[in-house]
Amino acid sequence: MAFEALDELLDESLELPIGGRTYKIPAPSAEIGLRTQALINAAAVAADGGRVDEQVLGDAAERDLYREVLGDAHERMVADAVPWPALKHSALTAMVWIAQDKSAAERFWNAAGDPSRLAPNRAARRRSDAASSTKSRGSTSGTSTRPAPPRGKANKRRK
């Protein structure tokens, strides 16, 4: 068996619907992907209270990261007067796609970037709790613990 062409195996774009139009976000270059990954890792470290590599953040600040992660779609969004919140959400979704995968980006997109909407809802938690509510069987090893003596007898021995 031979290796198939990778570009035929990978889905290398992201399609985001905004205002009745679909914007196709192309896969970033290796350089942009690596820089985006470094930025997201730095943000995670900072969120956990760790020390962040200022070089990584400085490099990201010098470049237009949203333009880079959106590729050609950025220009079309600006020309179509896409509102800022939609452009920003699109760029952040593309960053999630770059750093993780398409399914994570889809969850982020559909949650409108709200972390509380990313968590499973109460009904889903109840369904998963129901599966684990079955009592476990007791030990079948044949051993048992020795019962504690009644409290009254223990006090009499100490006297």
pLDDT tens figures, 109-125: 999 878 777 766 555 54
Distance CA 41, CA 152 (A): 62
| Kind plus residue range of the DSSP H or E element containing 22 | strand 21-26
Asked if the model's pLDDT at residue 54 lies above 90, the reply is: no
In angstroms, the Cα distances linking 121 to 14, 39, 117, 128 are 26, 30, 8, 11
Residues 128-152 pLDDT 10s: 555 555 555 555 555 556 666 666 6
Which of 149, 158, 31, 27 lies closest to 94, judged by CA? 27
Residue 8 — pLDDT band, cuts 50, 70, 90?
low
Q: Which residues pair with 21 in a beta bridge?
A: 18
Virtual torsion, Cα 40, 44, 50, 51, nearest 10 deg: 10
